[in-house]
Structure 1
Amino acid sequence: MSYRFVGIIDRYLLSGSEFTRRLRAVRPEQWTAPTPCAEWDVHRLVNHMTRGNLNYIFLLDGGSAAEFLRLRDRDALCGDPVGAYVRSVRECAAAFRKPGALKQILDYPLGPVTGEQALAVRTTDATIHTWDLARATNAPEELDPGLVAWIEDHLTDIYAGLAESPVSTETTHRFFAAPQAPPHAGESRQARLLRLMGR
């Protein structure tokens, strides 16, 4: 394993548990609440996260980038958002624990990546969307500081070689939101990361 991604399965599980903690607190009337991602309400955000985990397993099983994108919005919740998401995290972690999975080259939509880099992207996605879910449901917005620090310190490595990257000023912003504000003195690591990720 690359030293940059040592412990990535544990970090992925931590990001999943942080999302789960907010998810369990969603009230019935909040499922249709808007999120910072303009195209998603809370229900669609949770489906995006759950389907994403399942799609990463699909890539490990030899799935293609085109099929990954085709399946991206398919319902993965089956009427049980919390249960479906929790299962998807557990199943995704188990898939990446299989021998050779972290070194396997995956046909990711933004370019071929190793399993460990793909899981680093997934961990980042889960962390940022945890904030989105918290904001949408008026839950505590503080992210795990260790995850925030690790992601910010490794952003270049996490998105290295991909066709689109939130750390590139020339990226297309088809998959990642554009930064919404200039940096300012005294901003926290979380505020800086969220700004870079278009929040």
Structure 2
Amino acid sequence: MEEIAERYRRRAEAFEQKVAAVRPEQWGDQSPCEKWTARDVVDHIVGMHGYMLIPAGRSLDGATTVQEDPLAAFQAARAAVEAVLDDPALAKQESDTPAGRMTSEAHIDQVISDDLVLHGWDLARATGQDETMDPGDVERLWSSNSSIPPEVIEMYRTPDAFGPGIEVFGPEVVVPADAPLQDRLLGFIGRTP
């Protein structure tokens, strides 16, 4: 449990630093996700935090929205998820997810924790920040994503397969086989490195 919580905290801190570094005039800048601005990236992350709380019987209080204050909204979402991870009963609570039955902590680890890394890159690219991902995270994400069965990858690349407006991966962007692993990971999920 501590490994998952610590991984989440490290990734959330890196994402929070990126959010804090966005200048006010950059929030409308285009992200690598075709339909999203920089603000939309943060809104997605905050929204996904809310979804991760539902199986634990928790929710975001909604006091601050991403439209009002992206940093404060993310900090509130982060605190709510950390509270679940810090409570052994909530962290180990099982529920049904799109990927099968799993504990709250495993669901957080596989979904929102990984999203913080990938969408952290999106936010960095949109706002001219350092795009370098943690090499350990890149290796972990490459290993988990490249082992997904082809039929599931096809679903991930199909718009609306998981609901209206939901697109998990974009079309693969081909990069050289000897490209850095971060570039290969980004290309695999549909980003142009």
- Same fold, judged at TM 0.5 (above): yes
SS at match of 1:184: coil
The answer to whether the aligner puts 1:171 opposite 2:155 as a matched pair is yes
> Which residue does 1:96 correspond to in 2?
85
SS at match of 1:113: strand
Gaps of 5+ in 2: 160-166
> Which residue does 2:178 correspond to in 1?
186
The answer to whether the aligner puts 1:57 opposite 2:53 as a matched pair is yes
Task: State the TM-score, normalizing by the size of structure 1.
Answer: 0.77
Q: Which stretch of structure 1 is more off in the superposition, 101-110 or 26-35?
A: 101-110
Q: How does 1:1-199 map to 2 (within 5 A)?
A: 7-61=3-57, 76-77=65-66, 79-109=68-98, 111-120=100-109, 121-155=111-145, 168-173=152-157, 174=159, 175-199=167-191
SS at match of 2:97: coil
Note the aligned Cα RMSD (angstroms): 2.8
Given residue 140 of structure 2, which amino acid in structure 1 is its aligned partner? W
Identity %: 31
Q: Deviations over 1:113-136 (max 9, x none)?
A: 322331122111111000000110
Cα gap change, 1:34/1:128 in structure 2, threshold over 3 Å: closer, same or farther? same
Task: State the TM-score, normalizing by the size of structure 2.
Answer: 0.79
> How far, CA to CA, are the matches of 1:110 and 1:16 in structure 2?
23
Greater RCO (CA < 8 Å, at least 6 residues apart): 1
> How far, CA to CA, are the matches of 2:120 and 2:20 in structure 1?
12
> How far, CA to CA, are the matches of 1:167 and 1:124 in structure 2?
21
Q: Deviations over 1:14-64 (max 9, x none)?
A: 11111111111111111111111122111121111112212211221178x
Given residue 73 of structure 2, which amino acid in structure 1 is its aligned partner? A
Number of equivalenced pairs: 179
Gaps of 5+ in 1: 64-70, 160-164
Q: Is the 8 A contact 1:11 1:147 kept in 2?
A: no
Cα gap change, 1:155/1:114 in structure 2, threshold over 3 Å: closer, same or farther? farther
